[in-house]
Each structure stands twice: as C-alpha cells, then as structure tokens.
Chains A and B, each alone.
Chain A
Amino acid sequence: MDSIPMKSPSAKHFQKQILDDYFDRLASARDRGQKVVYTFVPGNLTELILSFDLLPVYPEVNALQSALRGDSGNFVKRAEMAGHSEDVCSYVKCDIGMMLLGNTGPAGKPLPPPDLLLLSYTGCFTFMKWFENLAALYDCPIALLHVPYQAEGGVTPAMTRYVVRQLEEEIIPAMARVSGRPYDPEKIRAMCALAAQSESLFVRCLESAQHVPSPIDSYFGGVFYMFPIFTAFRGTLEAVKYYRLLLEEIEKRIRENRTAFTLEGDLPEERYRIVVEGPPNWTHFWELWKLFYRRGAVVVAGSYVRVGGIYDNGFRHDPDHPLESFARYCMGCYTNLSVPARVDLLTRFMEDYKADGLVVHSVKSCNSFGAGQLLILKEVEKRTAKPCGFIESDLVDPQYFSRAHIKNRLDAYFQMIDERRAYHDRNPGH
C-alpha cells in the first residue's frame, strides 16, 4: 500500500477506474458465480461483505445515479403505477421502478438480482419497509441488523452488545450460508486496518475545508469524495490509494492557495462559506450546485458527507475489535444521531470551518433527515448568531425541484449576508 506509483493518475480518474471495474464485476457476477448482496449506505458492513467475497450493491446509490442520469422520473412513475403512493420516499420508488423496468444499473449494464438482502436498519425506518418490499419481489433470503438509535446522545454497552450479537447470530451466518465460505477473522482484521487508514485520510480531506479559502466543496464536490469510503471499497487498498491521491491533490491546492473546484473551474472568489444540512437533490444536482458557486458560495462542511459514518470524533474501524467497531460504526452514522446531537455537530462545524451561515436543504422523501430540521436550524441560528437559510426539494423525484423557488430563497439568503457585512463595514463598532 505504500507503493503508489510515481506518476499517479488523478484521484478522479482513479475513482472512475475502480467504479467502472466494480460495475463490470457486477454485470458479470452471475456468469462468474459471484454472489451479490444488496444493502444500504448508512451502517454498511462492506468489510464483512467483501471478506466473504460477496459483491455489495447499494440501491440508494443506484437511485441517486439514475437521477443524475435523468432516469429517475420514469422509475418513480413506474413504481407509482404499481401502487406506491406519491407520499413515500422516492429512493424506494426509483429502485422498485428500475427493477420493474428491467434492472439496468446506472452504468447502463444489467444489475444482478440479490442473493442476499442485508437490511442494516440504521438511521432510517424506511429502509426496513424498502427491503420488505424488495424481499417480496426477489426470491432471496433477507438478514436484518437492527441498529439502536442514539436517542440520548451516546452508545451504551447494552446497545453495542445487541448489535454484536446480531452480527454473530444473524448476519455472519447468513453471509456464510450465501457465500458458502466460513467467517475469516484474519481477513476482517486486515480489512478493518485498511478501513481505518482510509478513514483517517478521508477526515483529513474533509478537514482541509477549514482552510480559507477552502480547497474543496464539501457537499457538491464532497459527494464524489465519499463514494469509495461509503460504498464497495472502504476496507480495500483501492480506497486507501484513492484517498492518498485525493489528499495530495487537495494539499497541493492549499499550497497554491486555490479555491474550491466547481463545474466551471476554480471558484473565482470565495464569498460565502456555508455549512449544509441535508442530502442533495440528485435530479438537478448540477443546477443546484451552480446556484451556490455562481454566487461565490462554497460548502465547507455538511452532514451529508457523514451519512455513511462519522469519523470526525475519532472513530475508526478497529482491527482488534472488529465486530464491536462495526457496531459503533453503524450507531455513529449521522442519521442515527439524536436531534440535539445533530445540533451540536452542526454548531461545531460552523465554528471549526469558519462558516458564514447554515443552509438547510430539506427533501420531501427523507423524514429521517427532515423531521426536526426546522428546529435544528433555529437552534444553530441561536447558538452561532449566524444567518440560516432553508430550501426544499426532493432526492430523486424531479417534479419537486423548483429552480425559481430555490433561487429566490438563496438570493435572499446571500443578500442578507451581504447586507449585514456592508453594515458592519460601515459601522465597525457593531
């Protein structure tokens, strides 16, 4: 792992390479006899899955990629035709619609059906209903991991014990059955060690945004940085390599005092440093990004790049206690935190990342993020005395994105910051 070639590809290029390779392997999995596990990003047990030589598929990622490609609207409609309500989560409908329309994955290649549904039920109740529905559509076993919620802002020994027991009694035996392999503690240990390395590198990448100007956008840019660590690669050498490359590039940007990268090159001027709460909109992802960077706004920190796990507080996968660390990892996902804990975290980001304000992006689909966001906004505003803004759309149902509405609110928000700045410039005493 220490032998990164002298002439390295760019992080972006390398990521594309490993993702392409992953989708190729998925497309050929059936023919090669490799078994496939469908699972979720928050609280994913990627190391465990890979250690059994199983291939993970993340329906949420498929859904968001379908949206980026402009396919999600049809998929959602198809699922609604099959009887799903317009009220429920569009990720679920996009996934079910995609399946009903032939299950061609986001890379344009067919996705293999699951050999196991690993329902890691972390930070989102709808996950449970989602896989109950998939289980009825696919004839395959389902294994459930119930991850208790950090309602009181902490993890108790009882909670960890509960998760570990489920891993031992339900999850590991299910994977062993499906893969036909035994549990390999040595392999897990090695993968946990690699995971911990990636995690440390990932944290350094995210923390680079504390620099002024920020070398990265931690939301619109950040979602691409988080893919390897939250999906099929965390416990692998590839992930370590990717984050090394990424960190090198970021550090170079800092040395050169370069601003964050946008779709149209470097941000000409970093005018606003923003913390964002909530997942992005995927159907109009680029459009929403433009509404930020064209105004000179860079997102320096946010909750979404922590949706698959929070490493900022020192948590790492632990080769010496792998199962306990899986348990702690799952329980520590952002959406598994209580509302007060989320307020604490965002407030800390506002300070550590020298932010000018918080913008809450609320999505219709997600109650796990959404219910309580307005209170979170109020609390952060109260504690930091920084302006907070609020915009709404959806994850992957295109009809809930209104550019005019969002622009209207963002315009007002950024102008509000401008006006305050201008006032303070005129009246330095205040």
Chain B
Amino acid sequence: MIATLGIDLGSTTCKAVLLSKEGKVLGRGITNTRADYRVSADIAAREAILDADLALLGSLGRLSTETLTLTERRLRLAGFRRRLQILHQALCRVMDRTAAPGLADLARDVDKALDAGDASNGAHSRVLDQIMDRSLFFRDIALALYLDAARLRGSLDEETLATGLAKALAATENTVFSKALDETAATDLPPAVRPLIPKLAAIRPRIAGQIGTGYGRALLPFPETEIRSEILCHGKGARYLFPDARTVLDIGGQDTKAIQLDENGLVASFFMNDRCAAGCGRYLGYVAEELGIGLTDLGPLACTACRAVPVTSTCTVFAGTEVRSLLYAGEKQEEVLLGLHRAVVLRALSLLARSGGIFDALVFTGGVAQNQAVVRTLKEYLAKDHADLTLHIHPDAVYTGALGAALYALETL
C-alpha cells in the first residue's frame, strides 16, 4: 500500500496526516511545536503512523472496539512512562542536588498515580483521559502530574520545581521518541493483538510522497519542491472536507487567514493578518497565560458570560494590559474574556471581508475553531449579515492544512 504524508508545522502545534493513494485518511497525528522543528514534524508523523496502525490492526484481526481502545491506551501509557523516565533524569540534572531525595519521592508519586489510572482500566481516571486526549500533550500532563504531586507532599518549592520542569521539558522534548507499534514491548498489549504485530509490518503503507506546510515550513527538513504554502493547503483541505467550500477562515497560533476559492476549488484570493499576531491564537494564548488560565479553559469560561466587555486593544501585548486593568476595575472575568473572543471574531470578519466576503459555505479551520466562545460569537455575527450561510466546522478542523498537504503530495505521485 502506498500513502502520502502531509505535515503542517504551526507555531503552536504540528499536525500530520497520512493519506492513502485513493485519498482516504489513514491516520492523524498532532504534537506541540518545539524548538526543534524536525523533532516536531517527526513526532507528529509517528503519531499519524500509530493512528494508522491502530486502524489497520482493527481491520486485520476483527478486534473489538474495547480491545482496540485498550491497545491504544497501553501504547500511550507505555510511551508516556518512558518519556517520564527521560524527563525525570533530565530534571535531576537541571535541579539542585539537594532536591534529589524530594524528586525521587515525586517520581514515585507520579508513578503511583499512573498505576492507579491503569488499574482502573481507564474508567474515570483523569490522568488516563488526559493521556488519551489528543489535544493535550506530554508536556502539559507531565507538568501537572509533577506539580500536583509536589503540592500534595508540600516538600518542594513549586516555583523552583516549575522552573526546573520547564528546563527539563525543553531538553527532553527535543529528542525523538519512537512510538511505532512493533517497537513496543509485546507484553504491554492485549493477547489478541500480539500475534498481529508481525503481519502489520508487512501491510503498513509505504510513504511515497510528502509535502510540508505551515508557519514553520521553511524549516522542515524537506526540499523546496515538497513545501507548499498553507494558504493552498488549507484551501485544498477544506475543499476535501466540504466540497461546497468557497470561503475558508483559518485561525491558527500566529496567523489568521481568509481564503476564497473559485468554483474549481482554486485559491482566488487570500488575506492574512498583518504583522502583529492580533486576533490569532497567540492573542488568546497570551492573555490566558497572563491570567493563569489554561488555553483550553478560556473558551468554556467565556461562554458562561451573558455580556461582553469590549476589549479594544488590537495589540496582543496591550490586550493583556487592558484585560488586567478591566479586571482591576471590577469587570467580571468571563465577560472580559468574552470581549476578548469577540475581538478575535471581529478581526477575522474584517479579514474575510478584505479577502472578498463570504460565499455560500464558510469553512472554519485551525486550532481556534475548537474554541466554543469564538465559534458561538462567529455564529452570532454571521446570523446578522449572512443568515443563509452554512458554517462548517469539521471535528478534524485542526488537520485541514496537513490534509491539504497530503493531497498535494498525492498529486506528485
């Protein structure tokens, strides 16, 4: 079997899509973007291959959903544990010697937490849910595990630990960590799966072509001919997901893009945000950081507001200051946050209008398309001026660029 690989290296996350020769999605992978773009791309690709492997296993052995879920959980947990080990070694290196005994305790606590999760067989285990959740990455989960453990013990100063963890994570994250199925200890896997592993290697698709795209595409280890602009890739990906797509809005970490497609699916015009990252994912991320709120909690929190307090600063940095002074002035946090999300939507709508307007069906892609507050606000505005418009948001919206890239790779075969 032949497949192509599309890699979308964004500023926050790196996505990969594995596509069969027939244009069927075989697997998807995502990871957080790290300093070494090669590693980011590599891990995302391995994730996509793992995803494809799991699907192949299903077809090979007519395995039950439960078995497959268990397999995936085992694999992810095993991988997670191994990375924790590496992290722990790094942590011991970067931290003061006097902290060593405390660190060993923490490692044991973290291990216990994982064991408990594993023993529960996945039921109601927060940590296992997190490991299985593809929108969360190793760094987030590991950081939380360690900090929680430290808090419970009260042994180590949290701030010192957090600094140490950040350093250690930076070191470990940039090493490639293999996760392919057949490399995993067979004992980790359910018995029904074990005999299938050798067969899997034989039928696993060969990657015959690859295209890279995204904010950091120039830094991907690909030759120039294997690189496409994310405008084209998002256009193509959106059209694949929704054949009626005419206008595409992509809000990513660093860029917001408004793309118009003609009746043949070709990009007719596009506009990207100007030099500053105002109105992009970063804009939300920066404020989330300022307020100490998790990025994924931002949208749900804003959604609890009944009204929006206007946030007028278009500059990312000023918006942070403005939000803080609004809160200081007694405005409710969720209302300020809703105002912030509104600002993102307003910028996006202007960009859409700049690129030529909205036609028939609007496809919303990128990481920010997963933010409920943005989606809700966007819908409100669209209802005002574009009542007859269809808004498409695919559950796999975040993979649109990588999908487009894989589709371009198909064309080169």
A and B form one complex:
yes
| A388 touches B (CB below 8 Å) | yes
The 8 Å CB contact of B275, one of A402, A407, A412, A420, is: A402
| A207 touches B (CB below 8 Å) | no
| A344 touches B (CB below 8 Å) | no
Known: A374-B354, A402-B275. A411 touches B266 (CB 8 A): no
Taken residue by residue from 264 to 279, chain B's Cβ proximity to chain A (1 for < 8 Å, 0 otherwise) reads as 1011111110110000
Cβ-defined contact, A415 with B232, below 8 A: yes
| A321 touches B (CB below 8 Å) | no
Min CB distance, B149 to chain A, in Å? 40
Taken residue by residue from 233 to 270, chain B's Cβ proximity to chain A (1 for < 8 Å, 0 otherwise) reads as 00000000000000000000001000000001011111
Cβ-defined contact, A415 with B231, below 8 A: yes
User: Which of B229, B255, B268, B270 has the most chain A CB within a 10 Å cutoff?
Assistant: B229
**Chain A positions within 8 Å of B275 at CB level:** 392-393, 400, 402, 405
Cβ-defined contact, A416 with B218, below 8 A: no
Could you jot down 21 A-B contacts, CB within 8 Å?
A: A387-B269, A388-B269, A393-B275, A402-B275, A405-B275, A408-B255, A411-B229, A412-B229, A412-B231, A412-B270, A412-B272, A416-B231, A416-B232, A416-B267, A419-B232, A419-B266, A419-B267, A420-B266, A423-B264, A427-B264, A430-B264
**Chain A positions within 8 Å of B215 at CB level:** 408
Q: Smallest CB-CB separation from B271: which chain A residue?
A: A390
Q: Smallest CB-CB separation from A362: which chain B residue?
A: B274
**Chain B positions within 8 Å of A415 at CB level:** 228-229, 231-232
**Chain A positions within 8 Å of B270 at CB level:** 412, 416
Cβ-defined contact, B269 with A407, below 8 A: no
Known: A392-B274, A407-B218. A423 touches B232 (CB 8 A): no
The 8 Å CB contact of A412, one of B232, B268, B274, is: B232
Of residues 354 through 381 on chain A, the ones whose CB sits less than 8 Å from some CB of chain B are 374, 378, 381
Q: Smallest CB-CB separation from B215: which chain A residue?
A: A408
**Chain A positions within 8 Å of B228 at CB level:** 415
Cβ-defined contact, A412 with B269, below 8 A: no
The 8 Å CB contact of A409, one of B266, B267, B272, B354, is: B272
Taken residue by residue from 384 to 413, chain A's Cβ proximity to chain B (1 for < 8 Å, 0 otherwise) reads as 000110101100000010101101110110
Which positions in B face A, CB cutoff 8 Å? 215, 218, 228-232, 255, 264, 266-272, 274-275, 354, 356
**Chain A positions within 8 Å of B272 at CB level:** 408-409, 412
Given contacts A388-B269, A393-B275, A416-B232, 5 further A-B contacts (CB under 8 A): A378-B356, A416-B229, A419-B266, A419-B267, A423-B266
**Chain B positions within 8 Å of A409 at CB level:** 272
Min CB distance, B54 to chain A, in Å? 34
**Chain B positions within 8 Å of A390 at CB level:** 271
Q: How far is the CA of A381 from the CA of B271 in the complex (A)?
A: 13
Min CB distance, B35 to chain A, in Å? 16
Min CB distance, B365 to chain A, in Å? 15
**Chain A positions within 8 Å of B264 at CB level:** 423, 427, 430
Q: How far is the CA of A47 from the CA of B229 in the complex (A)?
A: 49
**Chain A positions within 8 Å of B268 at CB level:** 387
Q: How far is the CA of A412 from the CA of B215 in the complex (A)?
A: 12
**Chain B positions within 8 Å of A378 at CB level:** 356
Q: Smallest CB-CB separation from A405: which chain B residue?
A: B275
**Chain B positions within 8 Å of A412 at CB level:** 229-232, 267, 270, 272
Q: Smallest CB-CB separation from A406: which chain B residue?
A: B275
**Chain A positions within 8 Å of B231 at CB level:** 412, 415-416
Q: Smallest CB-CB separation from B262: which chain A residue?
A: A420
**Chain B positions within 8 Å of A374 at CB level:** 354
**Chain A positions within 8 Å of B269 at CB level:** 381, 387-388
Q: How far is the CA of A193 from the CA of B348 in the complex (A)?
A: 55
**Chain B positions within 8 Å of A400 at CB level:** 275
The 6 closest A-B CB pairs, nearest first, are A412-B229, A412-B231, A411-B229, A416-B267, A415-B229, A415-B232
Q: Smallest CB-CB separation from B232: which chain A residue?
A: A415
Q: How far is the CA of A33 from the CA of B268 in the complex (A)?
A: 61
Q: How far is the CA of A98 from the CA of B271 in the complex (A)?
A: 37
Q: How far is the CA of A423 from the CA of B411 in the complex (A)?
A: 12
User: Which of A387, A408, A409 has the most chain B CB within a 10 Å cutoff?
Assistant: A408
**Chain B positions within 8 Å of A387 at CB level:** 268-269
Q: How far is the CA of A378 from the CA of B215 in the complex (A)?
A: 26
Q: How far is the CA of A400 from the CA of B274 in the complex (A)?
A: 11
Q: Smallest CB-CB separation from B265: which chain A residue?
A: A423
**Chain A positions within 8 Å of B266 at CB level:** 416, 419-420, 423
**Chain A positions within 8 Å of B229 at CB level:** 408, 411-412, 415-416
